[in-house]
Amino acid sequence: MQSNDRPLVVSTAGEPLRTFGLADGVNLLCRGAVDAFGAPVSLDELGRQLRSGEGLDRLGAPSAALLIDGDQAVIAADHVGFRHLYGSQQAGWAAAGTSARVVAARIGAKLNFEALAVQRMVGHHLNEDTPFLGVRKLPAAHYWKLTEGELSAEPYPALNKVPFTHDLVGVHAARLRELVCGFLDQHDDVVLELSGGMDSRLILAAVPADRRKEITGFTIVHSGSADGPVAKRIAERYGMRHVEADLDEIAAFDPEIAYQLAHAAALRQDGMGAPLSAAVFEWAEREVADSPRLSGHGGELARVGYYLLQPNRPRQTPQLADRFFNMWFANNYGVPDSSLSDEFAAESREIGYRRVRETFAAYEGFDWMSSMDQFFLKERLHRWGGATITAAVNERVTLNPLLDREVLTIMMSLPHRRRWSSQQAVDVMSHLDNELAEMPLGSGMRPSVLRRPPAVTRMIGETPIHKFAGRAGRKVLRHRRGLRRYAAGAPVMADLVVQHWRENPELLEPAANSGLINQSWLDRLLNGMAEAEAASVDFILNLSVLLTSL
């Protein structure tokens, strides 16, 4: 069956299970459960897997299901935790469901100040945190059993490294092609998220050239973006239907409409995501929303850009964790201090550093680069990307071939030098389709060039000088001045939301009364004497949703 999007199950010692929005047997918590190749998994087979715990790690991501079986419930997500699920253990009873806010209401939870502090600095939560005390997220690569008032987490089999040989390029390529062709065999009108970047190009390369006309390329475009022209050329070359969503149209939105879209996104994400970006993407996908989807989410594990300027060390240290924090979070995703109360700005910064150090400290026995891999796989991948993906799981069947268990095993087994700057991904792409490896990306660089040893001369030689200088300059400014990175369309959406707040200041009362926002800055914002960065608007939208949920 297909359940509603806010189901809940409660188990109390000595009492029958209580269910809300659920039926006996298997309940799907997504549009459709599929295997690694996109083939539908029958409810009988899914029930067997949920009872035994075997095979759940082989389901396509994102996916989730819940089994009501007598006095026991089993709730499981895909092996990377992309589909978010939440639960709470209380004295003598426990609850689990798909909404942190619903679980929080059941237990009468208060806000989790430390989790809010981490979200303010990192852009997402860490470990099993949610914004509510006593409510936790199902960790990646686990499923929950709920019986006799106890909520217990059971792990999926760990990813085991395989010996590296150059034959892994062929194995990697063959697996991607097998996955993609399997999905095409099972679904009609498939949409590929086609940008000017590496990840979608790699997925397209896995589609045999004579089958590319079966799929639709979907590209989000905006002024100054090279994705549109690049994607259009590729679609024309292979006879693909091509759909563009122009984010420049957002500027013409009525501020009230923009606010409604952003507030609705914050509600769907339980106050844990980036609602401005989510609202933009949901609006952009209006023409292809229900179509089966091939997605390139997770491709960062094959190109590990986070190694940049991070030399390897025999083990992780607090100092390396702080450096990583400064490079990837404080200057890219953190909410500016100016919009926060002095006390919260200071305390949240200290908490953010501490929690990232503690998270890395758990990767004892790994060298530094491998520790970053662990952080990305166990934290960043599902707590950042999954927040947006989760909001769409009831809308469409999605397959992320780059998150397949066997593909992840290969990528996590590669020497760091093979993954740095996309060298493995490029070799796999060339193996699948050398023509695509020679076509310039949106950056102007051809993927094939990334086979060369990483060097500034390589980038200058392949990238038009004005693009190279602009990109390098923006990165330097971002790190030196604390400029933040935002998804396309988010800053425009933020301006529109602020306009609506100025016309309806009562909407800001929950956040204004929280003690977390700088009242002077907020007054100046409402008077038109200050502007708000998208991160600040996201934080206030989330905070308002969380506070009104209590």
C-alpha distances in Å from residue 103, one per residue of 167, 208, 322, 394, 496: 48, 45, 34, 19, 32
Q: What is the pLDDT of residue 454?
A: 53
Q: What is the pLDDT of residue 165?
A: 81
Dihedral of the CA atoms 405, 409, 412, 414 (nearest 10)? Answer: -140
Contacts of 370 (CB under 8 A, 6+ apart): 363, 416
Q: What is the pLDDT of residue 5?
A: 63
* One-letter identity of residue 476: V
Which run of H or of E encompasses 77? strand 72-77
Q: What is the pLDDT of residue 549?
A: 79
Cis peptide before 62 (omega within 30 of 0): yes
Which run of H or of E encompasses 105? helix 100-107
Checking phi first, is residue 28 left (phi over 0); if not, alpha (psi -120 to 50) or beta? Answer: beta
Q: Is 132 helix (H, G, I), strand (E, B) or coil?
A: strand
Q: What is the pLDDT of residue 110?
A: 96
* One-letter identity of residue 73: A
Contacts of 257 (CB under 8 A, 6+ apart): none
Interstrand relation of 25-28 and 241-246 (parallel, antiparallel or unpaired): unpaired
Contacts of 362 (CB under 8 A, 6+ apart): none
Would you give the DSSP letter of residue 403? G
Interstrand relation of 142-147 and 72-77 (parallel, antiparallel or unpaired): antiparallel
Alpha-carbon distance 260 to 209, whole Å?
A: 42
Q: How do the domains of the chain map onto residue ranges?
A: 8-155
Q: Is 407 helix (H, G, I), strand (E, B) or coil?
A: helix
Alpha-carbon distance 155 to 178, whole Å?
A: 27
Burial group, residue 481, by CB count within 10 angstroms (0-12, 13-18, 19+): exposed
R_g over Cα of the chain: 23
Q: 7 is written with which tokens?
A: 């189901």
pLDDT mean for each 10 residues of the chain (550 residues): 71 96 95 88 96 94 94 95 96 97 96 97 96 97 97 94 86 96 95 93 96 96 90 96 95 97 95 94 88 84 61 91 87 88 96 97 92 90 86 87 92 84 89 96 89 52 45 42 68 97 97 96 96 96 92
Q: What is the pLDDT of residue 288?
A: 87
Alpha-carbon distance 328 to 346, whole Å?
A: 19
Alpha-carbon distance 118 to 349, whole Å?
A: 8
With CA atoms as reference, report the closest residue to 539 among 504, 505, 483, 490: 490
Q: How many CA atoms lie within 13 A of 109 on its CB side?
A: 26
With CA atoms as reference, report the closest residue to 508 among 523, 496, 495, 494: 523
Residue 399 phi/psi, 5° resolution? -125, 130
With CA atoms as reference, report the closest residue to 301 among 369, 393, 226: 369
